[in-house]
Structure 1
Amino acid sequence: MTATDTRAREARREVARPVRGRVHRSPLLWLATLLLLSFAAVWIYPFVWVLSASVKGQLEVFTAGLSLLPEAFVWENYSRAWVDGNFGTYLLNTILVTAFTVAIVVIRCAMAGYVLARYSFLGRKFVVGVLVGTLFVPAGYTIIPVVELTQRLGLLNSLTGVVVALAGGGHVAAVLLYMGYFRGIPRELEEAAVIDGAGFFTVFFRVMLPLAGPVTATVVVLTFLATWNAFLLPLVFTFSNPELRTLAVGMQAFVGENSVDWPGMAAAATLSLLPIVALFLFLQRYFFEGIAGAVKS
């Protein structure tokens, strides 16, 4: 190897070698970072305060002000919320209601979005318009016919009635998400399955629905949040049977006639938030992929 080749090889190494030095960032970037961190701190602070209040005493909640560090950790608040507040039963009821509601909503909205995205039929645009129009109807306006219909079905004062009421709504956002995502999937996949003899349900459950995994994760998170935190419908459906209450309705157990057990309520709120945070951390990547895929389509 000649000296020229050696120098050329060393030069290529120098070019390929990454530049190690301080990366200069503009002052505007640092300012934007500090501004976003400030907004994040303001946004997160109430949740951190609830977590702190859950281990404080009744008087300290008021005397400590905005301080986050308690003088003494009162872990009995959690046992009082779990046992005295009957939150063990409420948690089981909420898990059952949420699980069945999410399953029904995913299947129903996925099939509706698939049909609206892939099939052309008379009145299709009208159906989509009606669905979008229902987004502007407050949920409280439909509570009376929902209760009346559920009572005629004999499902009032039961967890089944709560599931039917929560899962039987329009869930327009979920339908539109599936509709946008299915519209972007190549039709060749369906045609190949049809040529192999697959019917509608086979194509949907074995081809299309597995491909819509990111949207399904998004719908699961959104429906889980809405169902887990639902208050009005579970309150109406379990008003005469406290044993069927969900966590959101069970919070009222800490509100007395003359006082409110704030530390107990904070502990109960913390217990109810843990499953939501865990689910979002587990599905956050798919959640954002589903939103981006549906919007892009």
Structure 2
Amino acid sequence: MTAITVPRPRRSRRRPGDNRWTAGWIVRRLPYWFVALFLAGAAFLWIYPFLWMVSASLKDQMEVFASGLGLLPDNPIWENYQRAWTEASFGKYLMNTVIVTVVTVVLVVVRCAMAGYVLARYSFAGRKVVLGVLIATLFVPTGYTIIPVVEVSQRLGLLNSLTGMILALSGGAHVASILLYLGYFRQLPRELEEAAIVDGAGFLSLFFRVMMPMAIPVTATVTLMTFLATWNAFFLPLVFTFSRPDLRTLSVGMLAFVGENSIDWSGMAAAAVISLLPVVLLFVLLQRYFVEGIAGAVKQ
């Protein structure tokens, strides 16, 4: 009599904690072209508002509304950029913005780097209190601080000047930048400082010649963050230029296209493109350092 062998059911090889069925595993097994097509569509939807703004900057006032979501202008009108640059004084506004942004970035980088270095490498009484106060300022809205900032600037005679605007923009807590430097400097080995001190380096020499060159990724990250925040700042520059329209920045200068009864949408779109080009260019140049700075600061 022949024995009949019954095949045993195959046992699942999936172990507890196996992440085989996660989204990453599923994506890796999809066709390459499908993933590329999906990501291309998502990227297009992401940048579509910017593309529409560029398209609107080349249309006339009626075509902006008549074309709807279309991106190709019938007859590109490059005079919109000339009108925004000359008639709306965006050349002057651009120069003001560059001055304010560059000086603010330098002040914020140096101040936040020193604060982060001291908090990361030195132990002193009240250190935890300082950290707690810095973190608490993250929950204070900007509108609550504008009144004392304006009052102090007025008493110092800096209210209607680029100097006062720079001090107001760079004098904030900038807690995120300080914490980025703190996390980065904390993970550096102590031997670096000890070797520099043996060679006779003081605090400033140790900081600027040893620590800051090693913190280039974080510096690039803080530079980009501060540049974006300052370049796009509206509230403080608006208050500081109420009586001095010639000191307006690009973001405040957008008000020049808003009239009592109408809005020059094509001119505003052209001005917006002009103001965004430096931001896009800087991000393209510093994006690698931006990612490295974030990753290095949070790695413990």
1:236 counterpart = 2:239: yes
Q: For the residues of structure 2 that align with 1:239 and 1:197, how far apart are their CA atoms?
A: 51
Q: For the residues of structure 2 that align with 1:61 and 1:257, how far apart are their CA atoms?
A: 20
Q: Could you give the per-residue CA deviations for residues 42-75 of structure 1, whole angstroms, max 9, x where no partner exists?
A: 2110000001000001100000000000000000
1:156 counterpart = 2:159: yes
Task: Indicate the residue corresponding to 2:99 in structure 1.
Answer: 96
Task: Indicate the residue corresponding to 1:251 in structure 2.
Answer: 254
Task: Indicate the residue corresponding to 2:180 in structure 1.
Answer: 177
Question: Equivalences for 1:15-94 in 2 at 5 Å?
Answer: 26-27=29-30, 33-94=36-97
Which moves more between the two structures, 133-142 or 75-84?
133-142
Task: Indicate the residue corresponding to 1:272 in structure 2.
Answer: 275
- Alignment-mate amino acid for residue 66 of structure 1: L
Task: Indicate the residue corresponding to 2:137 in structure 1.
Answer: 134
Q: Could you give the per-residue CA deviations for residues 134-160 of structure 1, whole angstroms, max 9, x where no partner exists?
A: 111111111000101111111010000
Of 110, 113, 135, the residue aligned with 2:113 is 110
5+ residue gaps, structure 2, are 1-27
Q: For the residues of structure 1 that align with 2:146 and 2:262, how far apart are their CA atoms?
A: 30
Q: CA deviation at 1:35?
A: 4.1
| TM-score calculated relative to the size of structure 1 | 0.90
Q: For the residues of structure 2 that align with 1:29 and 1:75, how far apart are their CA atoms?
A: 40
5+ residue gaps, structure 1, are 1-24
1:219 counterpart = 2:222: yes
Identity %: 69
- Alignment-mate amino acid for residue 60 of structure 2: G
Q: For the residues of structure 2 that align with 1:95 and 1:133, how far apart are their CA atoms?
A: 31
Of 222, 242, 264, the residue aligned with 1:261 is 264
Task: Indicate the residue corresponding to 1:204 in structure 2.
Answer: 207
Secondary structure at the aligned position of 2:77 is classed as: coil
Which moves more between the two structures, 125-134 or 100-109?
125-134
Q: CA deviation at 1:274?
A: 0.5
Q: CA deviation at 1:218?
A: 0.3
- Alignment-mate amino acid for residue 170 of structure 1: A
Which moves more between the two structures, 32-41 or 273-282?
32-41
| TM-score calculated relative to the size of structure 2 | 0.89
Secondary structure at the aligned position of 1:51 is classed as: helix
Secondary structure at the aligned position of 1:27 is classed as: coil
Residues 33 and 141 of structure 1, relative CA distance in 2, 3 Å threshold: farther
1:281 counterpart = 2:284: yes
Task: Indicate the residue corresponding to 1:145 in structure 2.
Answer: 148
Secondary structure at the aligned position of 1:155 is classed as: coil
Q: For the residues of structure 2 that align with 1:73 and 1:34, how far apart are their CA atoms?
A: 30
Q: For the residues of structure 2 that align with 1:29 and 1:121, how far apart are their CA atoms?
A: 55
RMSD: 1.4
- Alignment-mate amino acid for residue 73 of structure 1: P
Task: Indicate the residue corresponding to 2:15 in structure 1.
Answer: none
- Alignment-mate amino acid for residue 104 of structure 2: T
Q: For the residues of structure 1 that align with 2:251 and 2:48, how far apart are their CA atoms?
A: 21
Q: For the residues of structure 2 that align with 1:53 and 1:202, how far apart are their CA atoms?
A: 52
Higher helix share: 1
Q: Could you give the per-residue CA deviations for residues 93-146 of structure 1, whole angstroms, max 9, x where no partner exists?
A: 000000000000000000000000000011111111111111111111110001
- Alignment-mate amino acid for residue 269 of structure 1: A
Q: For the residues of structure 2 that align with 1:50 and 1:136, how far apart are their CA atoms?
A: 33
Q: CA deviation at 1:196?
A: 1.0
Q: CA deviation at 1:34?
A: 4.2
Q: For the residues of structure 2 that align with 1:185 and 1:34, how far apart are their CA atoms?
A: 42
Q: CA deviation at 1:289?
A: 0.5
Q: For the residues of structure 1 that align with 2:163 and 2:134, how far apart are their CA atoms?
A: 25
